[in-house]
Amino acid sequence: MQKDFLSIRDFSPQEIGYFLDVACQLKAYPGAYTRALKGKTLAMIFEKPSLRTRVTFDVGIQQLGGHPLYLSPAEISLGKRESVYDVAKNLERMVQGIMVRTFAHDIVVDMARHARIPVINGLTDYSHHCQAMADYLTMLEVKGRIAGLKVAYIGDGNNVAHSLLFAGAQLGADVWVATPPGYEPDSHAVAWAAVRSAATDASCTITNDPNLAASGADVVYTDVWASMGQEAEAAARRKTFQPYQVNAKLFATAKPDAIFMHCLPAHRGDEVTDDVIDSPRSFVFQQAENRLHAQKAIMLELMKDNRAAERETAREPRLELVK
């Protein structure tokens, strides 16, 4: 298995299933793992502010018996105050893992290349893979399966859309992404998902029609229209994205038992209305909690001593995750 968790694309479908299996075990039996990472320290580098990423990694490493070390932009300004190489070579001698939440994806790639300890991608402008792991864990819990689910993402073709495509392709889901013209996901991301989907009986579809994407969906998912760093575009984006709001009318085109998901924070009244996000079919807070369990699984597998040596190939997941 890979030393680092930079992208869901870096793993096999079976390994992604294994991570979810471990997350289920950690959630069901948290008391069995309270010393699993005893004596280990996770350096958490935040170039972007966060609620869920900060809390779930901080609490998660402590629940595994380890220690969190929060590093804000005041301590580290990657590539500015100090080079990524120098930060990596310093931290590898002091801690046992690094989590990075930053802007450019190249930063986490460079950190992993230079550090001899595990590096976890907490978020970049290109991908949000820890979020996607929590998302599909939630789908598995609520729907009992992932394979064959129609997952409709409505909104901006951003890092969340990329990661939903990647994970869906790995796990056998049929992922639809509906965006305004010109806001589609990165073409290379779509191409990778299409190739992997062919091997897992999944599918990925990009459209500009939100009704077509949501029609008959098992899961309807959205995200903010203007992400961090796009604040200057917020007013213009609000006008462009208004037809892509997930409201009761759009949600009604999904299956009667469809669920609503959002990675949060939500801008209520913009990408989603209160009657959807506060409905009994909304699982946004279970989804947020699952960041904790999914990330604990990632930390455990990457940071526990001799984990890779114990297992030459990933154990098959006990749960049915792929077709």
Give the CATH number of the domain where residue 112 resides. 3.40.50.1370
Is 198 inside a domain boundary?
yes
46 and 59 together in one domain:
yes
Type of residue found at 285: F
Q: Is residue 317 in a domain?
A: no
Catalytic site includes residue 128: yes
Catalytic (active site) residue 242 = no
- Residues 97-116: what's their mean pLDDT? 97
Same domain, yes or no: 86 and 163: no
How many domains are contained in the chain?
Answer: 2
Q: What is the pLDDT of residues 129-161, one digit of tens each?
A: 999 999 999 999 999 999 999 999 999 999 999
| Bond prior to 265 in cis (omega within 30° of 0) | yes
Active site residue 116: no
**What single-letter amino acid sits at 165?**
L
Residue 258 predicted with pLDDT over 50: yes
The domain containing residue 170 runs over which residues? 131-286
Which tokens hold the place of 80?
């500015």
**Which position among 21, 24, 130, 131 bears the catalytic label?**
131
Q: Provide the pLDDT confidence category of residue 318 given band limits of 50, 70 and 90.
A: low
Comparison of pLDDT for 296 and 323, the residue scoring more: 296
Burial class (CB within 10 angstroms; exposed 0-12, middle 13-18, buried 19+) of 204 = buried
pLDDT of residue 159: 97
Q: Which of 223, 245, 262, 287 is catalytic?
A: 223
In-domain check, residue 51: yes
Q: Spell out the residues 6+ positions from residue 280 whose beta carbon is closer than 8 angstroms to its own.
A: none
Share of the chain above pLDDT 90, in %: 87
- Any bridge partners for residue 100, and if so which? 45, 121
Residue 26 lies in a domain: yes
Q: Are the beta carbons of 43 and 67 closer than 8 angstroms?
A: no
On whether both 49 and 80 belong to a single domain, the answer is yes
- Write down the catalytic residue from 174, 291, 293, 295: 291
For residue 204, tell me if it sits in a domain. yes
Q: Is residue 76 within 8 Å of 98, Cβ to Cβ?
A: no
Task: Give residue 319's pLDDT band: very low, low, confident or very high (50, 70, 90).
Answer: low
Same domain? For 195 and 281 the reply is yes
pLDDT at 66: 98
- Kindly state whether residues 233 and 279 are assigned to the same domain: yes
Question: Do the domain assignments include residue 146?
Answer: yes
pTM of the model: 0.93
Query: From CA 138, how far away is CA 21, in angstroms rounded?
Result: 12
Express each pLDDT in 198-220 by its tens digit: 999 999 999 999 999 999 999 99
If asked whether residues 274 and 192 sit together in one domain, one would say yes
Decide if 275 is inside a domain: yes
Selecting among 52, 54, 101, 237, the annotated active-site residue is 101
Same domain, 148 and 259: yes
Q: How far apart are CA 166 and CA 193, in angstroms?
A: 5
Q: Catalytic site residue 223? A: yes
Whether residue 282 sits in one domain with residue 136: yes
Q: Is-contact 153 128, C-beta < 8 A?
A: no
Mean pLDDT across the stretch 8-23? 97
Instruction: Give yes or no for a contact between 193 and 127, defined as CB atoms under 8 angstroms apart.
Output: no
Which position among 58, 218, 263, 293 bears the catalytic label?
263
Q: Is the pLDDT of residue 116 over 50?
A: yes
- Is there a domain that residue 113 lies in? yes
Assess whether 107 and 167 both reside in one domain.
no
Q: Average model confidence (pLDDT) for the chain? A: 93
Q: What confidence tier does 2 reach under pLDDT thresholds 50, 70, 90?
A: confident
Query: pLDDT tens digit string along 74-103?
Result: 888 787 778 999 999 999 999 999 999 999
User: Is pLDDT above 90 for 169?
Assistant: yes
